[in-house]
């Protein structure tokens, strides 16, 4: 695409100007402040809706101007040789608000035109996209020198460079270095990043285990005591247990004493059984009385519930009657007030001029007055339906019936309470079991048997000495079993230590191969991308980290006069311009985009790299040119 001409009106201080480029390279001379950058901003604004300078909230208005139209119009020749004119008109909007005598400022608006025909913004943007064959971001990259290197985010720059120059496959990297041939055995079906994440986590865990296992082994070894002869200890336990049983057998009471004790226990059990029989007999005698008492109690509960409900019904009905009578009286008073309303002759006078209204208007007002009076009376009558004499009489009848029911339930309640009290007093209280003959016989026999035991003195078996010795031997056996488990645990930890060391060696080997692979791929990717650009420009795509790893980046580097690579921001203007042109050349060739290129500060560049496919517009500071001067290539 080539620019045929550019026209500006009231654009950033430029009142009226027309520049004819005829689709050729052009050089614009002018002193500072004459509008060179304004031309560049206008071109960029027409194509991307933003300025070439990257200002936020860019506006084409001239500072201090109001109620003017700020226009930029450009005719371009597309790659098919067809001419198209695009134009934007930025202006203020003034509107009159209701009740205001003068219009007020309400904002700005941009009008769009394609070939001098008004267009929607959507259609205008689509026309620009067709002419440039690119979206707005790509237009900026291929129009503004340095935009790609300075304004595009690093991640986006990397993505675009890989898209333009191509990536390097893992197979290509492995084929380039035979020492990487075993890497597939490590990563398997994982990606390189997945394997490294897993391997680093494994390395961290293995190192932690290798640090902890020796401490645990040392702690267990310190807990080991002196070994014992387990067979001798087990034999000693058997002898001590036999001796303990002999002592117990020697101290057992005689068969006669055991029989007496058993008999006493049986008699006490008989007392409990007799007490239960005594209580069961008493309950059987009162069974019918208990049944009738339960029935009477349930009957009284039902009557109490009905009485409470009937009492509440009476209260509610009395309240409803009182409310209805009050409401009826209020409505009667209100009706009398409405009925007393009369037409006031003062309403025949006009409140504005003080003169008597025409007869037809007076008649109309009287009709309206009577209609409102009738409507109020009708409303009062309608509301009175709910508190009429008939309604109050019906409520009174319901109240009388409810009072009768309440009185009947009160009488039923008193009768039920008397019946329950009579049944409760009819229960027969049983005599205590302790005064029965059966209980006395049991107690007499128990005392006789207990007296026979008083003369018998049975010494308990004393096994304390044998128990202490037996406990000590068993403690030694338990300690020996614990030490056996400890030695087995030590052997297990030593085996784990050996396996962890072997696994760590394997993991370190895999990570080392991955790091070699990453560095090799980084070198190959960097070389492949840099081969697409001139020798003056190189891309730094990876940075060495303190931990020995690589960090992804995307920084442009430029050769200085000494042949050393320096950062973009440290290079001089000429080097930045030529490097920026080289970037546009590569991007344009890949995406098939051929846009005009605006080179600002071109006076700092003695030699611009050839860009035969593009229209170059150079902006040069010229102190003697107080007005802009345009020179076309070939003139």
Per residue in 216-244, pLDDT (tens digit) is 888 888 878 778 888 888 888 888 888 88
**Overall number of domains in the chain:** 4
CA gap 484, 471 in Å, rounded: 20
**DSSP H stretches of helix in 434-539:** 437-454, 464-530
269 and 149 belong to one structural domain: no
- Per-residue pLDDT, averaged over 117-139, amounts to 94
Residue 546 lies in a domain: yes
- Is it the case that residue 50 has pLDDT exceeding 80? yes
Residue 496 lies in a domain: no
384 and 442 belong to one structural domain: no
The single residue listed with the structure tokens 């009072």 is 403
- Per-residue pLDDT, averaged over 48-75, amounts to 86
Residue 384 lies in a domain: yes
The single residue listed with the structure tokens 């084929």 is 175
Comparing CA positions, the residue from 39, 12, 41, 8 lying closest to residue 26 is 39
174 and 109 belong to one structural domain: no
pLDDT band at 148 (very low <50, low <70, confident <90, very high): very high
- Per-residue pLDDT, averaged over 69-97, amounts to 91
The single residue listed with the structure tokens 């309608």 is 382
Comparing CA positions, the residue from 581, 594, 589, 597 lying closest to residue 21 is 597
Instruction: Give the range among 153-157, 288-292, 314-318, 528-532 with minimum mean pLDDT.
Output: 288-292
348 and 281 belong to one structural domain: no
Neighbouring residues of 296: CB distance < 8 A, sequence distance ≥ 6: 416, 419, 420, 423
pLDDT band at 2 (very low <50, low <70, confident <90, very high): very high
514 and 574 belong to one structural domain: yes
Instruction: Give the range among 139-143, 423-427, 540-544 with minimum mean pLDDT.
Output: 423-427
CA gap 534, 607 in Å, rounded: 15
Examine the fold and report which residue of 425, 460, 488 is the final residue of a domain before the chain moves on.
425
281 and 309 belong to one structural domain: no
420 and 335 belong to one structural domain: yes
The two tokens of residue 137 are 């971001």
Orientation angle between helical segments 464-530 and 154-165, nearest 10 degrees? 60
- Is it the case that residue 634 has pLDDT exceeding 60? yes
Residue 281 lies in a domain: yes
Report whether 224 contacts 486 (CB < 8 A). Answer: yes
- Is it the case that residue 3 has pLDDT exceeding 80? yes
As beta bridge partners, residue 300 has none
3 and 129 belong to one structural domain: yes
Residue 229 lies in a domain: no
Residue 527 lies in a domain: yes
Residue 213 lies in a domain: no
Domain region containing 514:
136-200+505-590
The two tokens of residue 600 are 């600002």
What percentage of the chain exceeds 70 in pLDDT? Answer: 97
CA angle 605, 150, 548 (to 5 degrees): 115
As beta bridge partners, residue 114 has 86, 117
Buried b (16+ CB within 10 A) or exposed e, 563-579: eeeeebeebeebbbbbb
9 and 22 belong to one structural domain: yes
108 and 193 belong to one structural domain: no
Residue 342 lies in a domain: yes
105 membership: H or E segment, kind and range: strand 104-114
100 and 171 belong to one structural domain: no
549 and 443 belong to one structural domain: no
The two tokens of residue 136 are 């707005």
Report whether 396 contacts 382 (CB < 8 A). Answer: no
Looking up residue 635, the CATH number of its domain turns out to be 3.40.50.300
pLDDT at 374: 92
pLDDT at 255: 59
Measured between alpha carbons, how far apart are the two ends of the chain, in Å? 21
């Amino acid at each position: 695409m080539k620019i045929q001409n550019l026209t500006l009106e009231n654009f950033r201080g430029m009142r009226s100007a027309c520049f004819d480029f005829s689709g050729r390279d052009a050089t614009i001379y002018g002193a500072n402040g004459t509008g060179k950058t304004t031309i560049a901003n206008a071109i960029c604004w027409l194509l991307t809706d933003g300025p070439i300078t990257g200002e936020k909230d860019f506006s084409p208005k001239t500072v201090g101007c109001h109620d003017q139209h700020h226009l930029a119009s450009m005719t371009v020749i597309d790659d098919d040789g067809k001419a198209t004119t695009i134009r934007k008109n930025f202006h203020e909007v003034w509107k009159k608000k209701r009740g205001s005598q003068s219009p007020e400022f309400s904002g700005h608006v941009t009008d769009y035109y394609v070939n001098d025909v008004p267009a929607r913004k959507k259609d205008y943007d689509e026309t620009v996209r067709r002419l440039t064959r690119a979206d707005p971001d790509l237009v900026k990259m291929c129009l503004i020198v340095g935009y790609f290197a300075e304004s595009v985010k690093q991640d986006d720059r990397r993505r675009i460079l890989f898209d333009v120059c191509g990536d390097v496959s893992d197979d290509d990297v492995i084929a380039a270095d035979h020492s990487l041939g075993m890497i597939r055995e490590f990563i398997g079906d994982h990606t390189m990043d997945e394997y490294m994440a897993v391997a680093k986590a494994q390395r961290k865990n293995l190192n932690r285990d290798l640090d902890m296992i020796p401490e645990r082994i040392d702690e267990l070894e310190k807990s080991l005591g002196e070994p014992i002869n387990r067979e001798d200890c087990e034999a000693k336990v058997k002898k001590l247990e036999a001796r303990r049983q002999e002592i117990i057998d020697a101290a057992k009471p005689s068969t006669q004493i055991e029989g007496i004790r058993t008999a006493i226990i049986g008699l006490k059990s008989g007392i409990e059984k007799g007490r239960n029989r005594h209580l069961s007999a008493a309950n059987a005698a009162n069974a019918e009385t208990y049944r009738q008492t339960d029935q009477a109690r349930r009957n009284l509960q039902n009557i109490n519930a009905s009485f409470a409900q009937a009492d509440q019904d009476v209260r509610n009905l009395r309240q409803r009657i009182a409310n209805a009578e009050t409401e009826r009286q209020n409505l009667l008073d209100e009706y009398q007030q409405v009925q007393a309303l009369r037409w006031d002759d003062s309403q025949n006078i006009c409140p504005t001029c003080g003169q008597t209204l025409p007869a037809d208007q007076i008649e109309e007002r009287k009709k309206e007055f009577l209609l409102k009076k009738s409507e109020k009376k009708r409303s009062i009558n309608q509301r009175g339906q709910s508190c009429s004499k008939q309604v109050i009489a019906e409520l009174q009848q319901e109240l009388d019936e409810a009072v009768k029911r309440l009185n009947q339930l009160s009488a039923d309640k008193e009768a039920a309470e008397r019946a329950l009290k009579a049944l409760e007093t009819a229960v027969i209280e049983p005599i205590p079991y302790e005064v029965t003959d059966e209980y006395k016989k049991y107690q007499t026999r128990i005392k006789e048997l207990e007296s026979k035991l008083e003369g018998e003195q049975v010494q308990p078996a004393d096994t304390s000495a044998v128990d202490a010795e037996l406990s000590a031997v068993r403690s030694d056996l338990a300690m020996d079993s614990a030490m056996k488990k400890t030695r087995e645990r030590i052997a297990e930890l030593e085996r784990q230590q050996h396996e962890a060391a072997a696994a760590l060696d394997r993991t370190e080997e895999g990570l080392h191969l991955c790091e070699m692979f990453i560095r090799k791929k980084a070198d190959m990717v960097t070389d492949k991308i840099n081969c697409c650009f001139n020798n003056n420009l190189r891309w730094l795509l990876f940075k060495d980290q303190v931990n020995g790893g690589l960090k992804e980046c995307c920084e442009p580097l430029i050769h200085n006069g000494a042949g050393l690579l320096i950062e973009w921001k440290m290079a001089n203007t000429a080097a930045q311009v030529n490097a920026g042109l080289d970037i546009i050349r590569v991007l344009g060739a890949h995406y098939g985009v051929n846009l005009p290129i605006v080179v600002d500060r071109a006076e700092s560049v003695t030699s611009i790299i050839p860009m035969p496919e593009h229209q170059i517009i150079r902006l040069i500071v010229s102190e003697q040119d107080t007005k802009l001067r345009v020179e076309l290539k070939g003139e």
